[in-house]
Amino acid sequence: MAVALHVDSIDLYYGAARALKAVSIEARPAAITAVLGRNGVGKSSLLRAIVGVHPVAGGEVRLAGSALGKAPPYRRARLGLGYVPQGREIFPLLTVRENLMTGFAALKGDERTIPETVFTLFPVLKDMLARRGGDLSGGQQQQLAIGRALVTRPKVLILDEPTEGIQPSIIKDIGRALAFLRDEMGMTILLVEQYLDFCRELADSIYIMDRGEILHSGPAADLDQPEIRRHLMV
């Protein structure tokens, strides 16, 4: 069943520096929501707060209406949050199969299998199951990181700059995979990005962030507005 993710007015600090200021967003069920903004505006911090790897100082994250409170990351994974972190965080010395199996930690014993969808979406992973994660290209590692998140059977898939440093052909594969997960599996997807064209083609709705705050929200077509494009230029 498709579920929504709500972020209500969260604050996040690094020491005395406030990185998120009363940020509220909604990721609608079976839709792709993109958060855009320049370097350092707080996009990764927002995702880290949602998945519970950094504590919030105020506000609330709700999954399918239930507040997550102070639930640690492993519990959020069990409740249905899948996370693909920035930089992918593949284990370089583990094989592709072992990297995928690290997702089993979020599953009950009888659910510990790699879903066939992972290999349908990313056939290269099947060919490379016995290879070490560190031997894969950046794009293949990104596919592996998404595959590992899918192993946990997420209701909401959260991705931190999935196109960063990746060649165009693999960006297309990743875009197609995300569209399939939304359209055919009803998955709720939240991603942060700096690549405008990727978001314009793929996203249903967008948020624009600046200095820890949400400046604008609307349909992805808003990315065509000159004012918004100017704002996102580095």
Q: Which residue from 42, 103, 147, 175 is in contact with ligand ATP, where contact means CB under 6 A?
A: 42
Compute the 3-state secondary structure of the chain and give helix, strand, coil in percent, each to the nearest 5.
40, 25, 30
116 touches ligand ATP (CB under 6 A): no
Return the bridge partners of 17, or none. 14
Q: How far apart are CA 192 and CA 176, in angstroms?
A: 17
Beta bridge partners of 191: 34, 159
Nearest to 162, CA basis, from 78, 83, 51, 101? 83
> CA–CA separation, 141 vs 96, rounded Å?
9
The two structure tokens encoding residue 172: 């297309």
Residue of the chain from 45, 141, 152, 188 that contacts ligand ATP (CB under 6 A): 45
| Residue 14 touching ligand ATP (CB under 6 A) | yes
Which one, 5 or 106, has the nearer CB to ligand ATP? 5
From candidates 32, 37, 145, 189, binder to ligand ATP by CB under 6 A: 37
Judge whether 8 and 59 are in contact, CB under 8 Å.
yes
Nearer residue to ligand ATP within complex by CB, 62 or 211: 211
Least distance CB 33 / ligand ATP (angstroms)? 16
Pick between residue 125 and residue 209 the one whose CB is nearest to ligand ATP: 209
Kindly state the DSSP code that residue 95 receives in the 8-state scheme.
B
Rounded CA separation 145/83 (Å) = 9
Residue 162 as a binder of ligand ATP (CB under 6 A): the answer is no
CB of 166 vs ligand ATP, minimal distance in Å: 15
Select the span of 26-34, 36-44, 97-105, 171-179 touching ligand ATP (CB under 6 A). 36-44
Contact set for ligand ATP, span 47-106 (CB under 6 A): 86
How far is the first Cα of the chain from the last one, in angstroms, to the nearest whole number? 39
Identify which of residues 20 and 146 has a Cβ nearer to ligand ATP in the complex.
20
Q: Is residue 169 involved in binding ligand ATP (CB under 6 A)?
A: no
- Given the rule CB under 6 A, which residues bind ligand ATP? 14, 19, 37, 39-45, 86
